[in-house]
Amino acid sequence: MTSPKLAIQTDLGRMYCRQVGGEAIVPSITTVISMDRLDLSGWAGYMAAKALSDDHRLVHAVGDRRQLRSLIRDAAGAAEAYRDSAAARGDRVHNYAEQRALRALDLEHDLEAAQAALEANNELGFARHFDQWWDDYNVQPIAAEVTVWNHSVGYAGTIDLVAQIGGRICLVDYKTKNTDRDGFVKRPDDKVIMQLAAACKAEEQVADAERGAWKEWGYGTDTMLLAVALGETGSRTFMAPPPALPDYWSKFYALRRDWEAAFKIAQSRASLVEITPPAQ
């Protein structure tokens, strides 16, 4: 996961502060959405079983309980290792996309280093298809990696790209995805609609993170919300349907209240209190 300047990782997820070095006071958009937890136990079990069955040491460990226990311990962390690897890959792809936008804006960038990081991990396909997407959609960037804030509800987040595409102002979120067995880049989860709806409802955007200077957010109306799935074999672009945005926003608002309750409980350290029998 990328780390914007104003974001801080806490025990209750990523939070944002108003300036570099300040106190973290609101949750990130993705932290709020994470309150809508999925049951991944089945996937984690599958990943562990697959890791064990693919382990070349398994043949020699059969019949040796000590070796087998060691292999099982390694396999048990397969889901976590996969998640961390995917997150690191996502960071590299997002960084390349950001540097590409900064170059187009004639701002300081290090596109060569971002490309080298992808090449070192055999991931240049992501860069190639991102560049193709950029050209096909004739992207005219306005800002990259924009941190925004909503005071009314209490959250902040960072938008991958604000750009003009096809004559419309667009908020763009990149999702790095694998390719399915038919050769198509997998589509993003529909939760990205909630993420984009929350970004659209921002009230401010950061002007200077070091000084803590902010300005009014100017892209919340008549804005197209896009999720771009980036893969090694291609890209796919999806639009968040406008009629669905109020419902996704309502769900985000409810999840924000859930997060606040969890935050207050964690702060108060509230737990069951044991009591003795009443006096006779």
- At 208-235, the pLDDT tens digits run 999 999 999 989 788 999 999 999 999 9
What per-residue confidence (pLDDT) applies to 161?
Answer: 97
Angle at 15 between CA 258 and CA 191, to 5 degrees: 55
Instruction: Flag whether pLDDT at 61 surpasses 70.
Output: no
Identify which has the larger pLDDT, 30 or 86.
30
H helix runs in the chain, sequence order: 29-33, 41-54, 58-61, 65-76, 78-104, 111-120, 124-136, 191-200, 245-268
3-state secondary structure 145-193: EEEEEECCCCEEEEEEEEEEECCEEEEEEEEECCECCCCCECCCCCHHH
Identify which has the larger pLDDT, 133 or 59.
133
Is-contact 92 123, C-beta < 8 A? Answer: yes
For residue 30, which phi and psi values (nearest 5 degrees)?
A: -70, -30
What per-residue confidence (pLDDT) applies to 1?
Answer: 43
Is-contact 187 177, C-beta < 8 A? Answer: yes
Share of the chain above pLDDT 70, in %: 87
DSSP reduced 3-state for 114: helix
Would you give the DSSP letter of residue 9?
E
What per-residue confidence (pLDDT) applies to 4?
Answer: 82
Share of the chain above pLDDT 90, in %: 69
Residue 32: band (very low, low, confident or very high) from pLDDT cuts 50, 70, 90 = very high
Average pLDDT for 252-257: 96
- At 202-215, the pLDDT tens digits run 999 999 999 999 99
Angle at 30 between CA 27 and CA 35, to 5 degrees: 80
pLDDT-wise least confident of 83-92, 222-231, 247-256: 83-92
Amino acid in position 116: A
